[in-house]
Amino acid sequence: MTSLFLLSMNTNRLGGPVPECIGNLSLAITTLALGLNPITGEIPRAMGNLVNLEILHVTNNILSGAIPFDVENLPNLTYVDLSTNNLSGVISSSFHKNKRLIALYLDGNHFHGHIPSHLDECQSLTMLDLSNNNLSGSAFPVVKTLLYLNLFDNHLNGSLPVEVGKIEHINSLDISSNMFSGEIPSTLGVVLVLVFVYACWLKKKKVQQPTLSSIADTWQNLSYSTLFKATDGFSSTNLIGVGSFGSVYRGLLQENETYVAVKVLNLTRHGALKSFKTECEALKHIKHRNLLKVLTVCSGTDYNRNDFKALVYEFMINEYGIGSAVSIRGDVYSYGILLQEMFTGIRHTAEIFKENLNLHIFIEEALPERVLEITDPILIREMESYAGESRSSTVQDCLLMVYGIGIACSVGVPGERMSITDVAAQLCSITDILYAAGLRE
C-alpha cells in the first residue's frame, strides 16, 4: 500500500496487539487512528518508521509499556492522543523537538517521573493534557502558546513559577489534586479584558434554569435498561464523543420520543467516580442558558451486575458543521459557535433561526454596522461601565474582531475554517489593543 496516506480503524472491537508490520505501511501515511478499541500489548517500535505521520490517535485502548520510539524522528507530528491507556515509563524528553506539535494528550495513563523540562520550546503547542498520571517533581510546563493545560491528579509539588503568567492566552488551567505549595503568582491575574467582562456578566445575570433537584421532580431516574434501549445497546453508531472519564451517546427515549445525550462513566478509570459526584454537585448550582440542561441521572448496575452511572442531558444538534467526525477542525467549529453565543447571548438553537437563517449568518449580515445591536445588552452595559465613553470605539473594534474569529471558525466547510494557531494570534492582537488603550485590569 505504497500510496496509503490515512488509516482509520476507530470505534471497533479490534483486539490483540498492534502488529510490528505497521511500520511497513506507506511512508506517505499522515494519519493513523486506532482509538476506541480493546487493543492490548505494547506500541510497536516500528511505528517510529512512519516519518511523515502528522496525526496519531490511539486513545481508549489497553496499551501498556513505554513509548518505544524516539518522537523526534517523527518531525511532522501535530496531534498526538495516547490518552486512557495503561502506558507507563517516563515521558520522552524529545517532544520539545517536534516544532509542529499542536496537541499532546497523554492523560489517563501511568507515566511517572518529571514533566520534560524543555516543552517550552514547542513553538506551536496549544493543548497539553497530562492529567491522571503519576508524575512528580516541581517542573512546570511554561509554554507561552498554550490555550489548555491539564495537570489534574498527579504528584506534582513545589511552588508555581512566576513565569506561569507568560502563558498569556490560556483559557483552561487545571492543577488540582496535586501537592503544590507557596503563594499564587500575581501574574495569574493577567487576563483578556473581554473575558473579565463576560465573567462579570455571568455573575450578575439572573436567568432562572431548573436545578438538578427540580429536574428530578419531572424526570424519573432512568434505568440501565431504558438507556440501553435508547442507545441501541450503546452502539458505536450512536457514539458522539469520548472524554477522560467516559463516553457520550445519542439516544431516543421511546416513551416520550425525546432525543437525549447519555454520558456513561468509565468507572474503571481512576477519578471517574469523583468526576461524577463533582458534576452532579456542580449541576445543582449552574444557572446559565447556554449550557446543556441535565435531565436526570442513572445510578445502578448493568446486565452483568457491574456498577453503572450516567448523566442524561438535553440533546443538542450537531455543532460540528459539515462532517460529524471528531476532529480538530470540528473543535474549531464548536469554539466559533460558543464564542458567538457568549457575546450575543443567543443560542444557536433559538427559535428565530429557521430555514436558511442561523447564528453564523445572523452575525455575518449584521457586521460591521450593527455590532452593538447584536451584542447582549447586559454585556454592552458592563463594557461601557468598565471602559468608559472615551474608549468605547476601541472596545467596539475588539468586538468586531471577536465576532470575526467566531465567523471564521464556524464556516460550514472544514477546510475553510480558521486554524487554532491563527485564533491564538488574533486573541493576542485583541489583548495588545486593549492593553494599549489602558484596559489592563
- Has 97 been labeled as part of a binding site? no
Angle between helices 392-409 and 420-436 (to 10 degrees): 180
Instruction: Please write down the HEC assignment for all residues of the chain.
Output: CCCCCEEECCCCCCCECCCHHHHHCCCCCCEEECCCCCECCECCHHHHHCCCCCEEECCCCCCEECCCCCHHHCCCCCEEECCCCEEEEECCCCHHHCCCCCEEECCCCEEEECCCCCHHHCCCCCEEECCCCEEEECCCCCCCCCCEEECCCCEEEEECCHHHHHCCCCCEEECCCCEEECCCCHHHHCCCHHHHHHHHHHHHCCCCCCCHHHHHHHCCCCCHHHHHHHCCCCCHHHEEEECCCEEEEEEEECCCCEEEEEEEECCCCCCHHHHHHHHHHHHCCCCCCCCCCEEEEEEEECCCCCEEEEEEEECCCCCCCCCCCCCHHHHHHHHHHHHHHHHHCCCCCCCCCCCCCCHHHHHHHHCCCCHHHHCCHHHHHHHHHHHCHHHHHHHHHHHHHHHHHHHHHCCCCHHHCCCHHHHHHHHHHHHHHHHHCCCCC
Q: Which grid cell is 377?
A: 445588552
The residue whose grid cell reads 491528579 is 153
Contact indicator for 267, 273 with CB cutoff of 8 Å: yes
The residue whose grid cell reads 448493568 is 302
Report how far residue 28's alpha carbon sits from residue 36's, in angstroms, rounded to the nearest whole number.
24
Strands lying side by side in the sheet with 55-57: 6-8, 31-33, 55-57, 79-81, 103-105, 127-129, 148-150, 172-174
Report how far residue 292's alpha carbon sits from residue 313's, in angstroms, rounded to the nearest whole number.
7
65: left (phi over 0), alpha (psi -120 to 50) or beta: left
Q: Binding site membership for ATP: which residues? A: 263
What residue numbers does the annotated binding site cover? Answer: 263
